[in-house]
Amino acid sequence: MDAPSSASPTQSPSSSGSHPEYQQTLRWWDGFTISLSIPAALFILVGYALGALGAWTAIALVVTVACFAALQNNIYSELAAMFGHKVGGISLYANQAWKQTTTLAGPLATFGYWFSWSSSLAIYGLQIGTLIQAEWFPDATWTISTGTAEIGLPHLIALGVLFLGWGLNILGMRPAMGIMYATGVVILIPIVLFALAPLISPNWDASHLSLGFGDTGFPDWQVSLAWMFVMAWSVYGIESVASFVPEMKKPVKDAKIAMRLAGVFVIAVYFLVPLGVAGLAPQEDISANPVTFYLQAFEQIIPGSGWFMTLCLIAGLMLLMVMTTAAGGRVLHGAAVDGLTVKQLGQLNKAGVPARAMSLDLLVNVVLILFVGEALAVVVAGIMGYLICHILTLSGYVRLRRRYPGLPRPIRLRPVWTWIAGVLCAIDIVILAVGVTSSEITGYGTFREVFIGFAVLSLSIILYLVRQKQDGHPVIWRRPGEAPETDPVHDVAAEPSGPASPSGEASTADPAPTR
DSSP, res 503: T
DSSP, res 344: G
Distance CA 335, CA 464 (A): 10
The per-residue pLDDT for 491 is 58
Determine what percent of the chain falls in helix, strand and coil, rounding each to the nearest 5.
65, 5, 30
Query: In degrees rounded to 5, what are phi and psi of residue 511?
Result: -70, 170
Distance CA 158, CA 136 (A): 15
Distance CA 315, CA 310 (A): 9
Judge contact between 433 and 515, C-beta under 8 A: no
Q: Which of 370-391 are b and which e, b meaning 16 or more Cβ less than 10 Å from the residue's Cβ? A: bebbebbbbbbbbbbbbbbbbb
Q: Give just the sign of the alpha carbon dihedral 265, 266, 271, 276.
A: positive
* 3-state secondary structure (DSSP) of residue 373: coil
The per-residue pLDDT for 86 is 83
The per-residue pLDDT for 511 is 39
Distance CA 90, CA 80 (A): 8
Distance CA 434, CA 432 (A): 6
The per-residue pLDDT for 12 is 36
Distance CA 177, CA 323 (A): 9
Distance CA 326, CA 89 (A): 12
Judge contact between 381 and 456, C-beta under 8 A: yes
The partner residues of 248 in beta bridges, in order of sequence, read 26
Closest listed residue to residue 464, CA positions, set 450, 476, 452: 476
- pTM above the 0.85 mark? yes
Judge contact between 270 and 42, C-beta under 8 A: yes
How many angstroms separate the Cα of 370 from the Cα of each of 122, 153, 155, 160, 366? 10, 12, 7, 12, 6
DSSP, res 147: S
The per-residue pLDDT for 322 is 86
The per-residue pLDDT for 1 is 41
Per-residue pLDDT of the chain (515 residues; tens, 9 = 90+): 444 443 333 333 333 444 446 677 788 888 788 777 777 788 878 889 999 999 999 999 999 999 999 999 999 999 998 987 888 889 999 999 999 999 999 999 999 999 888 888 888 898 899 889 988 999 998 999 888 888 999 999 999 999 998 998 888 877 777 888 888 888 889 999 999 999 999 999 999 999 888 888 899 999 999 999 999 988 998 888 888 888 888 888 888 899 999 999 999 999 999 999 999 999 999 999 888 888 889 999 999 888 898 999 898 888 888 888 888 888 999 899 999 999 999 888 888 889 999 999 899 889 888 887 666 667 788 899 999 999 999 999 999 999 999 899 998 999 999 999 999 999 999 999 999 888 888 877 667 777 777 888 899 999 999 999 999 988 889 988 788 887 755 554 433 333 444 445 654 443 333 33
Query: In degrees rounded to 5, what are phi and psi of residue 198?
Result: -60, -20
Judge contact between 431 and 387, C-beta under 8 A: yes
Cβ atoms within 10 A of the Cβ of 291, count?
18
DSSP, res 153: H
The DSSP H or E segment spanning 111 is: helix 105-136
Q: Report the length, in residues, of the chain.
A: 515
Judge contact between 279 and 59, C-beta under 8 A: no
Judge contact between 93 and 393, C-beta under 8 A: yes
Residue partners of 346: CB distance under 8 A and separation at least 6: 333, 336, 337
Closest listed residue to residue 318, CA positions, set 41, 45, 32: 41
Distance CA 222, CA 435 (A): 8
Mean pLDDT over the full length of the chain: 84
Closest listed residue to residue 349, CA positions, set 173, 471, 91, 89: 173
The per-residue pLDDT for 504 is 58
What domains sit in the chain, N to C, each tagged with a CATH number? 28-474 (1.20.1740.10)
Q: Give just the sign of the alpha carbon dihedral 378, 379, 383, 384.
A: negative
Closest listed residue to residue 508, CA positions, set 418, 414, 407, 412: 412
The per-residue pLDDT for 21 is 61
Judge contact between 278 and 55, C-beta under 8 A: yes
Closest listed residue to residue 37, CA positions, set 273, 262, 293: 262
